[in-house]
């Protein structure tokens, strides 16, 4: 075991021992992560290239919208991949952030970047399938995810898991695309670097998110379409909150 991989293993183990996982009585199957190194390297390159301007403004919006500037506790980014959004969130919050991703080939890069920016002590990484999150119920103060929910398979189950893991009074912000505060000139450049951007039907995705919220019985939610009149696709997001008086999750 080389030094970098050993360090990743020890940091993930430490996060489990600190209480990030479910109790032993609730085992979580090990995600199938074989053959994903090439995919990880591709996304790492994108996060340094075409997508690089996206993360800072998105982190700023999240911190402002959810008033996270002075908050402490636990934040989770589901499907964070390279963890670039987490690094930007660390710059703007006091939370401990967890990269919950199904592909562990991202983790060496993630920890290296966290150490480089002085946040090595404020991040963890956990092998995680969005449909079966390895966290106890009512664990997280905020959960975010950008650009991965369309890959989750059974999305209703995955969103249900996110809701389960939220503490009462906590919120989630899940979606794909860009933040509303990203300048149009920058958005055009990002999409040009992606060959025009991901092509999907925003209306259909919005309806899918609305359907999932209804199926889960989540009452406090909003679907966001940042800058819908812009000539480039800013994407679609769903924000939902767990009531303060929510009954404990089983």
CATH code of the domain covering residue 220: 3.40.50.150
What distance in Å separates the CA atoms of residue 226 and residue 228, rounded to the nearest whole number? 6
Would you state the pLDDT for residue 31? Answer: 44
Look at residue 53 in the predicted model and tell me its pLDDT.
97
Residue 69 pLDDT exceeds 70: yes
Domain for residue 247, yes or no?
A: no
* Residue 250 counted as domain residue: no
pLDDT given at position 140 = 98
Q: Is 248 helix (H, G, I), strand (E, B) or coil?
A: coil
pLDDT band at 36 (very low <50, low <70, confident <90, very high): confident
- What is the C-alpha separation between 77 and 83, in angstroms, rounded? 8
What's the confidence (pLDDT) of residue 198?
76
Percent above pLDDT 90 for the chain:
80
Pair 137, 113: CB distance under 8 Å: no
Average the pLDDT over each of 33-37, 38-42, 163-167 and give the range with the smallest value.
Answer: 33-37
Give 5's pLDDT tier (boundaries 50, 70, 90): very low
In a domain, 191, yes or no: yes
135, with CB counted inside 10 A (0-12, 13-18, 19+), is buried
Q: Write out pLDDT tens, residues 172-227.
A: 999 999 999 999 999 999 999 888 767 889 999 999 999 999 999 999 999 999 99
- Domains of the chain: total: 1
User: Does 77 fall in a domain?
Assistant: yes
Lowest mean pLDDT among 43-52, 132-141, 190-199: 190-199
pLDDT digits 0-9 by tens, 137-186: 999 999 999 999 999 999 999 999 999 999 999 999 999 999 999 999 99
Give the residue numbers spanning the domain of 226. Answer: 3-241
User: For the segment 14-25, what is each residue's pLDDT rounded down to a tens digit?
Assistant: 444 344 433 322
User: Cβ contacts of residue 15 below 8 Å, gap of 6+?
Assistant: 21, 98, 124, 125, 126
**25-34 pLDDT per residue, tens:** 233 334 444 4
Q: With 70 as the cut, is the pLDDT of residue 66 above it? A: yes
In a domain, 25, yes or no: yes
- Identify whether 246 is part of a domain: no
In a domain, 66, yes or no: yes
β-strand partners of 127: 101
Secondary structure (3-state) at 137: coil
248 located within any domain: no
């Amino acid at each position: 075991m080389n030094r970098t991989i050993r360090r990743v293993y020890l940091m993930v183990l430490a996060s489990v021992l600190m209480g990030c996982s479910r109790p032993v009585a609730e085992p979580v199957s090990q995600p199938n992560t074989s053959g994903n190194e090439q995919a990880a390297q591709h996304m790492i390159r994108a996060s340094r290239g075409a997508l690089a301007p996206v993360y800072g403004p998105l982190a700023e919006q999240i911190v402002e919208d959810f008033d996270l500037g002075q908050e402490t506790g636990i934040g989770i980014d589901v499907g964070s991949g390279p963890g670039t959004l987490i690094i930007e969130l660390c710059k703007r919050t006091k939370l401990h952030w967890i990269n919950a991703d199904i592909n562990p080939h991202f983790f060496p890069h993630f920890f290296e970047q966290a150490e480089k920016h002085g946040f090595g002590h404020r991040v963890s990484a956990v092998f995680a399938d969005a449909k079966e999150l390895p966290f106890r119920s009512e664990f997280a103060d905020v959960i975010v995810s950008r650009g991965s929910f369309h890959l989750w398979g059974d999305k209703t189950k995955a969103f249900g898991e996110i809701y389960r893991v939220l503490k009462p009074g906590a919120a989630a912000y899940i979606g794909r695309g860009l933040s509303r505060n990203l300048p149009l000139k920058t958005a055009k450049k990002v999409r040009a670097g992606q060959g025009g951007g991901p092509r999907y039907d925003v209306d259909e995705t919005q309806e899918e998110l609305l359907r999932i919220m209804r199926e889960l019985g989540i009452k406090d939610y909003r679907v966001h379409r940042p800058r819908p009149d812009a000539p480039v696709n800013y994407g679609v997001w769903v924000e939902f909150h767990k009531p303060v008086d929510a009954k404990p999750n089983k």
